[in-house]
């Protein structure tokens, strides 16, 4: 299913697994080649953790086979598998009085003798990995003193110290701030490419998955809904199917918006991203709106269509037909307040300028965020715009 070049490191075939009598994942088949970062996406309870834990042999499969580097997972000896496959789990170990270097050294477990003595080679590997992960400055700090983001990097370093060919991570970005989320994912991406290993990670941030994962696998109720490059897989239809119709995520922004019902009393003339802050401020205040006329390539279109159904749009760079313009005009005639977002008035926005003129001519309240404008009442900020809108809508 995944058709990148290179050796297949993880082959999952017709896998079925679960706990007790409950089958959590069923009929899951996919392949991951070396140097590939696969993100597993799906809502809570869709079987992401079960899938990852089965591949890591923490749960026995009920049916089907997992091959790691061409060999059946169940045929590996413990230490053999530990040299091939490493994990980073959701549970955060509490490691009192353990220095970062010691935590990473635990990853050398399959390579050390019965007394766990570290040879010179082990020590140089540990140093190398501390540097690779970018935590060498923390090496002599105590693990417990670190921030969540730093801890996660150290746990990734610990896993890499096993020198695995396959790295499995269960929600590696949970609990982290946005900076550390990006750092951790970028780190994984880099490690994946430089060490030519296969990485399988469950990721909750769809937008970040789309940026860092070579492939995404979408799970729904224990079955694969889609596998492929994020650009192909993370389409509106798939997202709606996985997360349900109430979640307002639109490709390609992939970040959810608040939903509000369309309100005929407000019409926003926008474009080129100038409408986005207004849409979000109104949605936050629970105020619906109509907006237009937007090209379907405009960021304003992606955001507003996630927030409301009241969007008048045309295909990218197509001149709006008279029908569309008439529709927008009729919406404006029904509106109490028309907002001018301050969109750039190039020739491709001529129809929107006409809409504003029409609003002015028909005596509507026009609020404008434009620096200098002959049409409408000037408002200086989104905040004061919101106040004006509330005043007009309530009377």
Q: Which residues bind other proteins (CB under 8 A)?
A: 53, 56-58, 77-79, 81-82, 85-87, 89, 91, 93-99, 102, 106-107, 109-110, 112, 114-117, 158, 162
We find the least distance from the C-beta atom of residue 194 to other proteins, in angstroms, to be 23
We find the least distance from the C-beta atom of residue 11 to other proteins, in angstroms, to be 20
Cβ–Cβ contacts within 10 Å for residue 250, how many?
20
We find the least distance from the C-beta atom of residue 160 to other proteins, in angstroms, to be 13
Pairing of strands 166-169, 223-228: unpaired
- Do residues 378 and 357 lie in contact, with contact meaning Cβ atoms separated by under 8 Å? no
Cβ-based nearer residue to other proteins, 27 or 102: 102
We find the least distance from the C-beta atom of residue 200 to other proteins, in angstroms, to be 14
Residues with Cβ within 8 Å of residue 301, at least 6 apart in sequence: 294, 295, 311, 313
We find the least distance from the C-beta atom of residue 164 to other proteins, in angstroms, to be 10
Q: What does the angle CA 21 – CA 22 – CA 23 come to, to the nearest 5 degrees?
A: 115
We find the least distance from the C-beta atom of residue 14 to other proteins, in angstroms, to be 24
Cβ-based nearer residue to other proteins, 99 or 378: 99
Q: Residue 8: beta bridge partners?
A: 33
- Do residues 134 and 153 lie in contact, with contact meaning Cβ atoms separated by under 8 Å? yes
Return the DSSP state at 216: E
We find the least distance from the C-beta atom of residue 219 to other proteins, in angstroms, to be 21
- Do residues 219 and 241 lie in contact, with contact meaning Cβ atoms separated by under 8 Å? no
ω into residue 351 within 30 of 0, thus cis? no
Cα 83 from Cα 130, distance rounded (Å)? 18
Percent helix, strand, coil in the chain, to 5, is: 40, 25, 35
Cβ-based nearer residue to other proteins, 154 or 272: 154
- Concatenating the DSSP letter of every residue in 318-335 gives PPPPHHHHHHHHHHHHH-
Cβ-based nearer residue to other proteins, 84 or 364: 84
Cβ-based nearer residue to other proteins, 87 or 325: 87
Cβ-based nearer residue to other proteins, 40 or 270: 40
- Concatenating the DSSP letter of every residue in 10-71 gives EEEEEEEEEETTEEEEEEEEEEEETT-EEEEE--TTSSHHHHHHHHTTSS--SEEEEEETTE
We find the least distance from the C-beta atom of residue 118 to other proteins, in angstroms, to be 10
Cβ-based nearer residue to other proteins, 156 or 260: 156
Cβ-based nearer residue to other proteins, 155 or 188: 155
């Amino acid at each position: 299913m995944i058709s990148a070049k290179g050796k297949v490191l993880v082959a999952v075939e017709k896998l079925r697994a679960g706990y007790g009598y409950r089958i959590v994942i069923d009929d899951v088949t996919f392949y991951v080649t070396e140097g590939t970062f696969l993100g597993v996406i799906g809502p809570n309870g869709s079987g992401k953790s079960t899938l990852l834990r089965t591949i890591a042999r923490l749960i026995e499969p009920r049916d089907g086979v997992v091959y790691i580097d061409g060999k059946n997972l169940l045929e590996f000896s413990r230490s053999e598998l530990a040299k091939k496959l490493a994990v980073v789990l959701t549970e955060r170990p509490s490691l009192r009085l353990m220095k970062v270097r010691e935590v990473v050294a635990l990853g050398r477990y399959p390579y050390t003798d019965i007394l766990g003595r570290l040879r010179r080679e082990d020590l140089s590997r540990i140093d190398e990995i501390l540097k690779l992960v970018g935590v060498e400055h923390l090496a002599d700090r105590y693990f417990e003193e670190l921030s969540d983001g730093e801890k996660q990097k150290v746990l990734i370093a610990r896993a890499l110290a096993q020198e695995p060919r396959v790295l499995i991570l269960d929600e590696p970005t949970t609990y982290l701030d946005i900076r550390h989320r990006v750092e951790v994912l970028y780190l994984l991406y880099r490690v994946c490419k430089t060490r030519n290993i296969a990485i399988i990670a469950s990721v909750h941030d769809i937008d970040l998955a789309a940026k860092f994962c070579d492939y995404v696998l979408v799970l729904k109720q224990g079955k694969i809904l889609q596998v492929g490059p994020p650009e192909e897989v993370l389409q509106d239809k798939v997202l709606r199917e996985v997360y349900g119709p109430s979640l307002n995520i639109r490709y390609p922004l992939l970040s959810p918006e608040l939903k509000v019902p369309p309100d005929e009393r407000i019409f926003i003339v926008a474009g080129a991203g100038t409408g986005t802050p207004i849409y979000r401020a109104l949605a936050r205040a629970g105020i619906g709106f109509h907006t237009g006329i937007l090209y379907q390539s405009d960021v304003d279109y992606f955001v507003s269509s996630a927030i409301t159904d009241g969007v008048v749009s045309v295909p990218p760079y197509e001149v709006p037909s008279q029908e569309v313009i008439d529709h927008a005009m009729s919406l404006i005639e029904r509106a109490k307040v028309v907002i001018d977002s301050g969109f750039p008035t190039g020739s491709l926005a001529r129809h929107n300028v006409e809409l504003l003129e029409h609003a002015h001519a028909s005596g509507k309240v026009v609020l404008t965020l434009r620096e200098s404008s002959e049409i409408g009442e000037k408002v200086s900020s989104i905040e004061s715009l919101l106040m004006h809108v509330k005043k007009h809508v309530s009377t």
